[in-house]
Structure 1
């Protein structure tokens, strides 16, 4: 049996090398062809905002309603861990840690910079007007209010449930396999979190 180099033992080569290749390609493209990269990325962003902006707002709103309903339902009492496990920190301590990590540093800068940016150069309409001011505050509250937390919660709960409750690896592909979106993949408790496509579910 061929021994893997020490460097490869600490990572999953498929995930690392694939991600590294994409990152290097983007960096080289942006560095060597800056005007073309800027034009391409701006056109892609404009296309996504114009065509799918409504879908983004709708999805975030639906997730917010889902999270609130989930917390008030019997499912909100499911323990993320074994039955004998108990929280290491209080609810208040968890809230302060999550708020500080998720928004604390960002609000120091973007709490002022984002509404000012939208006021001076709004996505739609003319800047430096009363309408631009109202639009800037609406966008900022959407970005820094409850909606982004709903997205974080749904994603975090999914990972936490299957990892701490089911004992499966904490991997993004785990969610797809668990939800049945990748039926040809199988992840077990002893894997490294990257499913082997050659193993089909029994």
Structure 2
């Protein structure tokens, strides 16, 4: 497993380093082809994942424990909820909180750019990309791995989810190694995306505060520091390093959210959150399957938008599913199936939607009503800078 995944990683890395332009163009063409040919499958599959985990949670299987029937959970509700919160709440929310709604405002998949309708749609789409669907993917993997690891005494590994299909012989053999190898490789692709976003976000913060320009050296240094912190937390174990880092994450994000809510137009932001939540729930089924087939002359633009945004997000969530799903399984021993599904779907979701609404509505208001052209330009040209400009205004 180690050598197989390492070989794949080295081949991809070598191609990107030696032939960056050609490799980038090839990957772009592959993404466009996948979006055009299999967009329907992505949308259908993600909808099926959400339906399935919801059905399992509220069926007769919902009371099954991930472990022995009388086994107590490894972590208290508070600690467990905190780690669930931090499993998907990270620097990407800083990066996209202001920039994504503004981008959707100016480049909507349908409708008039820059209009109030486009602004309303912008938050609905942002909620969609960060909402229930992505967490359903994590819940599905966590549930499958945790069930067979704790109920059937299989390894806490991705291969264990295929135990009833492949059988014990194949799971412990070459097929199982191939599944774990693929999981590691896919996780690496997601990790590269997150490290890139994180490095850009921190580097932009340094540029904003000190005037230090973007450079490869700065980005590399930021990536090394981020990797070091993550490694130290992982080596310290779940009970110490990960839990403490999760608690710090909660405090920092909550403090920043409250600061913007209190210092901004509080009443309008609260009204906006309720409106955005209603729009999200109202269009949940429609947007789950919306491929923009009937957009007329703008069909090509809408298809391109779908590939760059919704399908990109679904692929991004899937790439993190092996890692986050196994982490969720690790911390959920002793919980019931219903607890795991409801916890994963709802605990991080509430904060995520509140965060996106407060920052997204603040950004849209500044751009549309207060002439914050610098914020609008940054969101389109340098998204990592948009959060700092929003806080400045």
- Scaled by the length of structure 2, the TM-score of the pair is 0.40
Inter-CA distance 19–187: structure 2 relative to 1 (3 Å threshold): closer
User: Which residue in 2 is equivalent to 1:11?
Assistant: none
- In structure 2, how many angstroms separate the alpha carbons of the residues matched to 1:135 and 1:49? 22
Quick check: 1:171–1:194 contact (8 Å CA) kept in 2? no
* 1:60-71 superposed matches below 5 A: 60-71=46-57
- In structure 1, how many angstroms separate the alpha carbons of the residues matched to 2:78 and 2:50? 21
Q: How big is the shift at 1:169?
A: 0.8
Inter-CA distance 181–119: structure 2 relative to 1 (3 Å threshold): farther
Q: Which has the higher contact order (CA 8 A, sep 6+)?
A: 2
Inter-CA distance 48–76: structure 2 relative to 1 (3 Å threshold): same
User: Which residue in 2 is equivalent to 1:109?
Assistant: 95
Inter-CA distance 127–30: structure 2 relative to 1 (3 Å threshold): farther
Quick check: 1:70–1:76 contact (8 Å CA) kept in 2? yes
- In structure 2, how many angstroms separate the alpha carbons of the residues matched to 1:135 and 1:42? 27
User: Which residue in 2 is equivalent to 1:179?
Assistant: 164
For the aligned residue pairs, the C-alpha RMSD in angstroms reads 2.8
SS in structure 2 opposite 1:185? Answer: helix
Inter-CA distance 186–62: structure 2 relative to 1 (3 Å threshold): closer
Q: How big is the shift at 1:79?
A: 0.6
Inter-CA distance 181–88: structure 2 relative to 1 (3 Å threshold): closer
User: Which residue in 1 is equivalent to 2:58?
Assistant: 72
Equivalent of residue 36 in structure 1, options 14, 17, 22: 22
Structure 1: where are the runs of 5+ without partners?
Answer: 1-14, 196-202
* 1:1-202 superposed matches below 5 A: 15-121=1-107, 124=109, 128-130=113-115, 133=119, 136-176=122-162, 178-181=163-166, 185-187=170-172, 194=177
Quick check: 1:116–1:136 contact (8 Å CA) kept in 2? yes
Deviations 1:138-169 (A, max 9, x none): 43222210111111111111000111111111
Inter-CA distance 63–110: structure 2 relative to 1 (3 Å threshold): same
Inter-CA distance 140–51: structure 2 relative to 1 (3 Å threshold): farther
Deviations 1:4-53 (A, max 9, x none): xxxxxxxxxxx111111111111111111111111111111111122222
Quick check: 1:168–1:187 contact (8 Å CA) kept in 2? no
Structure 2: where are the runs of 5+ without partners?
Answer: 179-393
Quick check: 1:119–1:133 contact (8 Å CA) kept in 2? yes
Inter-CA distance 182–47: structure 2 relative to 1 (3 Å threshold): farther
- In structure 1, how many angstroms separate the alpha carbons of the residues matched to 2:33 and 2:124? 22
Q: How big is the shift at 1:127?
A: 8.9
Give the stretch that moved more between structures: 145-154 or 133-142: 133-142
The structure carrying a bigger helix percent of its residues is 2
